[in-house]
Amino acid sequence: MSSTGNHAIVFGASGISGWEACRQLLSYPTAITFSQVTGLTNRPLTREAALLPLDPRLGLFAGLDLQKPVHEVVKDLSKIPHIETVTHVFYYAYKHIEDPVEFNKVNTTMLETAIIALMKIGAPLKHVMLQTGAKGYGAEYYGQVEFPPIPLKESTPRLPEPYASQIFYYSQVDVLKRLSVGKSWTFSEVRPDNIIGFVPNFNSMNEAQVFGVYLSLYRAVHGEGAEVPFPATNAAYKIMTTEASTGTLAKFQIHVSLNDDKFENGEAFNVGDKAASFETKWPAMAAYFGLKGVPPKQDNPQDAMEKWVHDHVETWARLEGRYGLKAGAIEGTGWWFGNIVIWAFFDRPFDLTKMKRVGFEEDDDTVKGYYAAWDLYKKAKIIPDIDVDM
């Protein structure tokens, strides 16, 4: 196979988006599109433990701290083989901080540090892909600001102050606009809403993990064929959203990075699978676990799922022993995040016109994304592969 010379670097390779990007970059759109893939993680993560392909083109490197000064990050990056050949950046790095002002400042500075460091090293950058999200549409400030018309479009104006200063996506985009002026590289902003996928460790903001643990435990408690009501409200059951399975997400992000001649520098793109409600997804999700998904029997309180799980921790402990599961799944699952997801109370489907306009042909179903993630969670021994006779 001939080499293309494309070298992708993935900041945040152990996260839900970065993990899948590392995997897809080895095969999409072809097996020779990228000659090298460099994944950067906070904590050590081997390819074996990550369940990533044992491909010699993939290197995983831990411990890069983007909160250090630029010259120190340059020094640390310089230890990575062939870092001076990086052409494509996929940026998912993220630092959670409670104070919104500091949160914005730190995450924006981290991105700026990463790109400046690569430029100082002399990397021949072609494209920087920045993942943002629905926060930019004001989803978390619903009721405080006027929510945009649906389906949500990329042309939607930014939120007014004081909310704008709390959206670090805005300042990250502004940094890339400034840094790319007069440079040979371009950038794109890709906006998913809720992301459905696998991570090889416990992740606090992961729907597939939340429902994987819940439905596995429900099956163990109630048996095959049992009805499992949606654990929220009848209204939430019918809310329309555009979730993004990580396969669709990563493939589209790679697509735009390779086709920047089809759009203006800095353009934003919504991404996702077909818009759907839990009314259509829940029966299919439950069926994966041998259960019958049905509507809520009554309107449940927001923490109903979380409370039910903690009432049955002894059953989960038995599952850990029987199936050799990694310990700590219940404690390592973001039930607070699951509570937010299933208690949605307003429609927010995305307009995906631009996604198709740049020639992206993939068209998937979010339920397939859940299934793919759960297959990997079983392989990683995070949820059980429950026997029919359990």
pLDDT in tens, 124-180: 999 999 999 999 999 889 999 999 999 999 999 999 999 999 899 999 999 999 999
The CATH 3.40.50.720 portion of the chain extends over 7-194+245-270, 198-243+275-348+365-379
pLDDT confidence bin for 334, thresholds 50/70/90: very high
| Among 374, 314, 373, CA closest to 19 | 373
pLDDT score for 389? 40
Which CATH code is given to the segment(s) 7-194+245-270? Answer: 3.40.50.720
CA atoms in the 13 A half-sphere facing the CB of 41: 22
| Among 366, 383, 2, 8, CA closest to 193 | 366
Would the pLDDT of 241 be above 70? yes
pLDDT score for 140? 87
Residue 118, both tokens: 């690569």
Tell me the whole-structure pTM to 2 decimals.
0.95
Which CATH code is given to the segment(s) 198-243+275-348+365-379? Answer: 3.40.50.720
Would the pLDDT of 231 be above 50? yes
Instruction: Give the range among 26-40, 147-161, 357-371 with minimum mean pLDDT.
Output: 357-371
What value does the mean pLDDT take over residues 206-226? 97
Q: Decide which of 42 and 241 is more confident.
A: 241
Distance, CA of 364 to CA of 338 (rounded, Å)? 23
Distance, CA of 153 to CA of 191 (rounded, Å)? 10
What value does the mean pLDDT take over residues 266-291? 97
What value does the mean pLDDT take over residues 365-389? 89
pLDDT confidence bin for 1, thresholds 50/70/90: very low
Would the pLDDT of 289 be above 60? yes
**Residue pair 364/191 in contact by the 8 Å Cβ criterion:** no
Distance, CA of 383 to CA of 216 (rounded, Å)? 7
Mean per-residue pLDDT of the chain: 94
